[in-house]
Structure formats: C-alpha cells, structure tokens
Structure 1
Amino acid sequence: MTNRIKGKVLITGADGFIGSHLTEEMVRQGYDVRAFAVYNSFNSWGWLDQSPKEIKSSLDVFLGDIRDPHGVKQAMRGCDVILHLAALIAIPYSYHSPDTYVDTNIKGTLNLLQAARESGVSKFVHTSTSEVYGTARFVPITEEHPLQGQSPYSASKIGADQMAMSFHDSFQTPVAIIRPFNTYGPRQSARAVIPTVITQIASGKKEIKLGSLHPTRDFNYVEDTVRGFIDVMESNASIGEVINIGSNYEISIGETVRLIAEIMNSNIEIVTDSSRLRPEKSEVERLWADNQKAKRLLGWESHYAGKDGLRRGLENTVEWFTNPGNLKNYKADFYNI
C-alpha cells in the first residue's frame, strides 16, 4: 500500500550526488521540498547549483549542518517527512579522520531523529549502505546478513542505522531504512571507482591508477536508487523495515573497468596504486544484493539490472562525464580520498 505524501519533505544531503538527483525528481513529481545543504562560505548549493532554473525556483533551500541540533530543529519546522541522506561517505577519509564520521553520521542522525520525534513526522527514511554488510558471508545478501564494521565509515553507518531503528522500537518513530548498494551515475565523486576510471580516460590517460581489481560489487544506477527512495517513502509497509536497493548482479571491479574502456573505445593499462588499496582486513571483497524484499514490499525493480543494464547505465554516465562542462569539475590527476 502506498501513501502519496502531501506535506513538506525535508531532504538532508540534497546538495550531494544521490541527494541532488532525488531532490530534482521529487520537485518534478510535484512534491514540496526543502533541500538541506551543508553551509559553506561560497553560498554553494552543491550539485543543485547545476539544476534547471525551474527546479531551483521551486526549492526551499536550508543551509546548515546536521551536527548542530538547533539548526536541525529549525530545518525541520513545517516538514512532515524526512529523507535523511546527509553523511560522510568516503572510506579512505574515514581512516584519516574517523572522529568526524562519528560526529556526522551517528550524532547527526541522532539530532535528526530527536527533532523528528519531537515534531511528530509521518515518515523518517534513513539512508544506510551496503558497506555495513562487509565481505559477504553468503550471497545474494539479504537484509538478515550480519553487519560487519570493516572500516570506520561502515562502523559509523552501522551505528547510525541502529540508532534510527532504536527510535522506531523505543518511541514508535516511523523509521524506514533504505540500504542502497553501490550507486553510480552522473555527478558522483571521483573518490568512487567508476568516475575515477572515466575521468582518467576522458583526460587522455592510458595508464589508469586503481586499487584492488578482484572485489565484486552490485552497481546500482542512480535512477534506480532515486526510485527506491520514493517508493520507500510512499510505502506504509516500509516502516520498521530495512530494505536493500540493488540490481541483484555481481561484477568485479576489473571487469567493470574493462567494460568502461570498451564503451569509451580506449586501450588502457591498469596500474595498481598502493595509496588506493584498503588495509587488507578492511577491504570488502564481495557485495551482491538480494532485492526480493524491495520487490515484495514496494514493487520496486531495477531498470538497469544485469550486464546489459549496467552497460546502459555506464553509457549514460560516460556521456555525462565526457561533456567538457562537467569534466572540468574533476581533478583526474589527483587521488580523491
């Protein structure tokens, strides 16, 4: 059963990769959206600065920081639904500055949950990540798979997930947890493998610097992830549930790189860059989503599933990144942690 949202929707992390796509799609669908973007002295709305004029004119933008409980309460005024995407997500940077991940991902989520409880929202959608599963103990990975904090990032997200569900169990806060597998597409940070490969090739490089090639991932095109968020938000059945959003297709990093090179008509040599390797026990070796629960509860299905779907999604992504106006925003010569 779905429930078309009528009140104002607060989207945290609206300035980021997935958040900006979600914000734009919800505005197109007629939702009343308040976009929470991180405050900065440039007055930048992140990727929302690139949105069409008609999208930006329809937005209510709030600049703040989820680590500030007072600002969070102000942002939530008049909102009936929360889509919480704001987080620190770069795994290498979590080795560098783990304290900031606790502050942002756990304490920031707590601030939002406290404000949501006090204001009596009708839905709180919390964003998890497939990284909380760690290396697969069985595949495909169901929502019952054990949680393994193999990096400070994944540990902080496990903490945030547990905090969110504790508010559902303790205070009946209407929490739903969406757990997207490796989302890719236009606007993704070059700290992720697909953009780093595309930007290096697009910049004319023949030697592509990468980390481990053998781990497998379940790549999820951003359009599918966005539909997953909206379906979780609108479904009454999602309350109190953790729901995987993934394509149910496993592919190695190395094979993904070869597919990108084929799409871009490029002969490349892959060079292992030791600075891009995770510590041995921290590397997540295998991710492969079981998406049956999403199909059963939400009626959600991947439109970019299997190798053919991945190819279509990568073609869209390559087209966006190779546009000179977009490529100029990336530093292909530097390793983004």
Structure 2
Amino acid sequence: MASAPLVAVTGAEGFIGSHLTEALVASGHRVRAMAQYNSFSSYGWLETLAPEVLAEVEIVLGDVRDPGSVRGLVTGAETVYHLAALIAIPYSYQAPHSYVDTNVTGTLNVLEAVRHLEIPRLVHTSTSETYGTAQTVPITEDHPINTQSPYAASKAGGDRLADSYHASFETPVVTLRPFNTFGPRQSMRAVIPTVIGQVASGSREITLGDLRPTRDFTFVADTAQAFIAVGTAPADAVVGRTFNAGTGGEISVGDLVRLIGKVMEADLDVSEDEQRIRPAASEVMRLVADASRLRAATGWAPGHDLEQGLARTVEFFRDPANLARYKTDIYNI
C-alpha cells in the first residue's frame, strides 16, 4: 500500500495553519509542519490537536527567514502550503522591517526552495488587505492592488514575487487570497475574538476601534478547505493564478458586535478606543469578495454562514481552558 502523500506547511502553529493541518490529515495527507523556533519549544496551536491527528504530523521548529530551515521543511513534499507571516496590522506601523523580513524575504526563501527542489505545487497565502478599500464590489482578483498599511504592502510584495517566479521559472505556484477568516484559536488581534473574549470574560462594555468598516468573514474550516482545494486541483486549473476565498457577504463592525451579542445572549455597550483606530488613510473601509473564480476552478464554496461560525467560535472561547490562553483585558496590538 502506498504511503499517504507528504505535504509541508509553514506557519502551521498559527490560527489558520493549525486548522489546515487538521484538515490535511483528515483528507489523508501526512504533514510536515513548521512552527517558528522559540526557546520555549512551543508548537503553538498544534499542541492542542488530537493525538490521532498529531500521529500524522511531523513538527519541526524553524523559521521561514532562514533558507536552510525552509529547504529542510519542503524536501520530499508534494505540495507546500506557505502560511507563515507576520499578520497584525497595528504592529506593522511599529515594526515594518520585521514584516518585510518575514512576509517578503520569507516568501522568497520558500519560492527558491520549491524552485530548486522541483516541488510539484506551492500554495502561497495572500490577503484581502492588499486590495485596500473596495473601489468596486464585489472585489474580483482583477481589482487594483492598493496597500494601505505596511502589513498589506509586505504581503503584496510576497504576491508579486510568487507571480514573478511563475513567469520567470515556471514555478508551480498558486496564490490564495482569503478575506477575513475567523474561528477558534484566532488571535485577540482580530475583531471577532476581541469581542467574544471580552464577553466571555464577563464584560458587557466592549471597546473597539472604528465601527464603520465592513468585512467579508469566512469561517476558518471553510478557509482551510479553500487551501486544500487549490492544493489538490488539477494543475492546469489553478497554477499561475490567484484566487479570492470569501463568502460574498459583508457586515459592518458595529452590526457584527450586535450579532455576537445575539449569539451570546448578552446586551453589549460598545465604545471606541482611540488606540485601536488605524490612521485615517490606512483604514480599509470595505472588503467583500467575489470568489466565483475559485468556485469555477475547484468547486469550493463556504459551508458555514456567519452566525453558524460565530456559534462555534463562542463555544471555543467559553471553554475556560481556551479562554485562559488569552489576555482579554488589554489591547492586543
């Protein structure tokens, strides 16, 4: 009997990466998962996966900023899922060099390893933030790139490198551009866990940034399936292309808070906190996806609506063991 195909995942210890790792194992893959090296020998969210899942996962500590780490990770893999990134937009105002090191140079290291080792498929992760505030809606992959934060600029830099490697070297790369993913294990740097975490901790006075922006929220299990869809589709359907992953729906932050209050059966009083508000020209006011290209190429479609996803996320944060991992009483930059 042939062994299960080996895939490699960068950023596997993170929010989406850990869910993707689970989903890959469930779909019959062996996973070599990179967690960022740290002196605590922490594997991040991978440590919370079920033993039967971890039995199919080889965890290695490394860093995408180091070419040797990346080469060792991807050797022998049939597909590489590149998710490692610095993600927090507010921190990118303070440490832009770090974002270039990880999101641009790290991506270059992955591309070089995939190219020279002739890996059959690389799935590169982009972000809807590269579009900036929507100029036309819904946003298709042909929407202009308009980076309004150092984070977005660094991700766009990685995207352009991926495109260039396909054009220059025929590197078999496909770019997935998820819109706002949410769900269990997400960082408190994102709005949904920020609200749910505060409520789960007993607060009814919620502090947030700007309440006006709208976002297209996709449940994390659906985003994971989008990655697998582009990672396993026939090459001629996806390689060399960029795909949006989103629901096509949008909701304002203010209305989102009200919906979370409904799901959690809590009356919430919301106030704006100035330190949570982005610089005016940096705030992306509207994002809503057109994912028809992804659907046509792979058949992918989201399996959860917003309220269903919120209910599962609330269940996660209401578990005291999970909530204890978070700092709900401070602004997590």
| SS in structure 1 at match of 2:244 | strand
Distance 2:227 2:323 in 1: 28
Distance 1:287 1:149 in 2: 13
The Cα shift of 1:7 comes to 3.5
The match for 1:335 is: 331
The match for 1:47 is: 45
Deviations 1:137-193 (A, max 9, x none): 000000000001100000000000000111000000000000000000000000000
The Cα shift of 1:6 comes to 6.0
| SS in structure 2 at match of 1:102 | helix
The match for 1:167 is: 165
Q: Does 1:140 align with 2:138?
A: yes
The match for 1:209 is: 207
Distance 2:5 2:199 in 1: 45
Distance 1:85 1:54 in 2: 23
The match for 1:37 is: 35
Distance 2:31 2:110 in 1: 17
Q: Residues 120 and 6 from structure 1, CA distance in 2 versus in 1: closer, same or farther, beyond 3 angstroms?
A: farther
| SS in structure 2 at match of 1:126 | strand
Q: What TM-score, normalized by structure 2, do the two folds share?
A: 0.97
Deviations 1:116-150 (A, max 9, x none): 10000100000000000000000000000000110
- Give the alignment partner of residue 75 of structure 1, picking from 35, 48, 73: 73
The match for 1:302 is: 302
The code of the aligned residue for 1:187 comes to R
Q: How does 1:213-252 map to 2 (within 5 A)?
A: 213-235=211-233, 236=235, 237-252=237-252
The match for 1:108 is: 106
- Give the alignment partner of residue 85 of structure 1, picking from 74, 83, 86: 83
The match for 2:293 is: 293
Moved over 4 A (4+): none
Give the unaligned 5+ runs of structure 1.
Answer: none
Give the unaligned 5+ runs of structure 2.
Answer: none
Q: How does 1:116-131 map to 2 (within 5 A)?
A: 116-131=114-129
Question: What's the RMSD between the two structures over aligned residues?
Answer: 1.0
Distance 2:127 2:70 in 1: 23
The code of the aligned residue for 2:215 comes to R
Distance 2:153 2:299 in 1: 30
- Give the alignment partner of residue 317 of structure 1, picking from 313, 316, 322: 313
The match for 1:64 is: 62
Distance 1:7 1:112 in 2: 20
Q: Residues 239 and 6 from structure 1, CA distance in 2 versus in 1: closer, same or farther, beyond 3 angstroms?
A: farther
Residue identity over aligned pairs, in percent, reads 53
